[in-house]
A and B are shown apart, each in its own frame.
Chain A
Amino acid sequence: MMTENTASQRSVSDILKGAVGLGYKVVDDHIGQGRVAAQRVREGSYNSGHVEEDITQLINRMVYLAKEMGVVAFDVMSAVMQDPRSASRSASATPGPSEGPASQFTIETRSTRPVQVKYQFSPTTPRFEPSVPVLHSADKGGPPLTGVKFVSGEDKRPVLKIEIPDQHPPGTYTGPIVDRNSKQEGGTLSISILR
């Protein structure tokens, strides 16, 4: 009986040892293959300037793949991808009289639906603190869009935060961008909720 127990315990121990050893071999081989693949992908330099371009390429590739799968109802994603930077982008390329910090802002969007953002921003002074009083519907009678505001970002540069409530009617909403202190107009903002 003792011999049987000992043999049984040894058997369990052997199975455990074998399984764990085999497990490590399998996973380490897998990690090794991943390293080789990553090295191949990462050949050449890579810096943060490529991030946005990469996102666009990656998303376009996923969109293409999904289209190839024969998926219907794809118009929404395609609409978003017409401007892949609509979710978050820097406005630093905006033409305007000033190239200082006041002319630059980032856009952060929270919406379950595709949103298109258009703006014209030419701050009148370097100390221009942008704000958006209210965005009115271009269609008569529609409720104004109120969840849009400028806040100060981590680097002190303005961030345009756009929150679209789920039930808010689709359409185009426009309004001025004004200086928070002087109320002087420095541009216009237009947000389209596509569906």
Chain B
Amino acid sequence: MPQTPSLVPQVMQQYGAATREGVRRYLPTGLPHRYFYDLLAEYPGRGGKMMRPSICIATARVFGASLEEALCSAIAIELIHNALLIHDDIQDESEIRRGEPTLHLVHGIPLAINAGDGLLLLSLRPLLDNVANVGASVALGILRDTERMAWETAEGQAMELGWRRDNSIDVTDADYLTMVLKKTAWLGVIYPSRVGALIGSRGSACLEQFIRFGFFLGAAFQIQDDLLNLVADDQYGKELNGDIFEGKRTLMLTHCLRRCTDKERRRIRSLLELPRSERYVEEVEWVRALMESCGSVRYAEIVAHGLAGAALHEYWCIFGDLPDSNDKKFIHGLITWVFERTQ
């Protein structure tokens, strides 16, 4: 029986539509459209959950701002997210994004990298427009947080890519959580909620508390995302067991590496040493089955629920005293929605 209020998808649809329309307005349409501007529009045009911009707008509204005041920031967040997806897909050698071939598979790596750069650059425009929208001081605070988020995300991505390059098999849970904090939680939850709070409070909100809330929610989200990857169906929009194919150090893989026998560990290590194109389905499915028999899938499920519980605690610390509203219920509802979503 689903626990998430239907409000969560409704709010994401509402704020997502406003953001998507805003993104569309910012997307340039001139030349060279075939090699550049058409590519910029591809990932935003494929849809997406719109969780990040919705968190930004909802938090801003909980703290007293209007949707319009938060819209430029929400648009920038979505543009940055899409830019990083393009680069991530190249770095991860991913083949499917939102149910369709990844951008670099369709257009080639050089043009895809350039399109990612273009989207990142485009995100500066709504951030600059924030000066007129929310005032210079708050706009500066948002720019500062954007810079921090960008550094944190790049550091997290470097950690994960480095583990894969060096074929690390001794990644601890603390290493994993630190990587997730930087790579996923900052752009996924921490930054959108901090920006929303900055706008709504006119710069007066204490932002540190959003790091705790965002980390726990973001980490629960990421672990659930990795779990979904193991049981994906066509609707999921990603390839089944894609994370194992890509050699991602997920919580399940690192736990499995700790629990399995030496012989099994050597076999996993040999598999991960191979280029992606030489990792065969049978071997990947063997790793997947081993994760099950080592209790790694169950372990990850328990950890994700524990982190979600901590997110709930942090939620009440931040939002407990604020007036009730649909936006407040939406943020609360996200914590259970993490486990009930199918994509």
Contact = CB atoms under 8 A, between A and B. Distances in A.
Interface residues of B, number: 42
B321 to A, nearest CB: 21
Contacts of B137: 48, 51
The SS class assigned to the B binding surface is helix
A27 B132 contact: no
Interface string B51-90: 0000000000000000000000000000000000000000
Contact of B208 (A31, A48, A87, A110): A31
Given A15-B302, A69-B117, A73-B118, A26 B131 contact: no
Nearest to B31: A73
Contact of A23 (B118, B219, B299): B219
B124 A66 contact: yes
Given A77-B124, A80-B128, A87-B132, A20 B306 contact: yes
Nearest to B130: A87
Which bucket holds chain A's interface residue count?
Answer: 35 or more
Contact of A19 (B36, B114, B131, B306): B306
A58 B129 CA distance: 15
A168 to B, nearest CB: 14
B25 A51 contact: no
Contact of B306 (A16, A27, A70, A88): A16
Given A22-B174, A26-B178, A71-B114, 6 more contacts: A23-B310, A26-B181, A52-B136, A66-B120, A72-B114, A77-B125
27 contacts: A15-B302, A15-B303, A19-B306, A20-B310, A23-B215, A24-B212, A24-B310, A25-B174, A26-B174, A26-B215, A27-B216, A30-B181, A30-B211, A31-B212, A51-B137, A52-B136, A58-B143, A59-B128, A62-B147, A63-B124, A69-B117, A70-B114, A72-B118, A88-B131, A109-B132, A110-B129, A112-B25
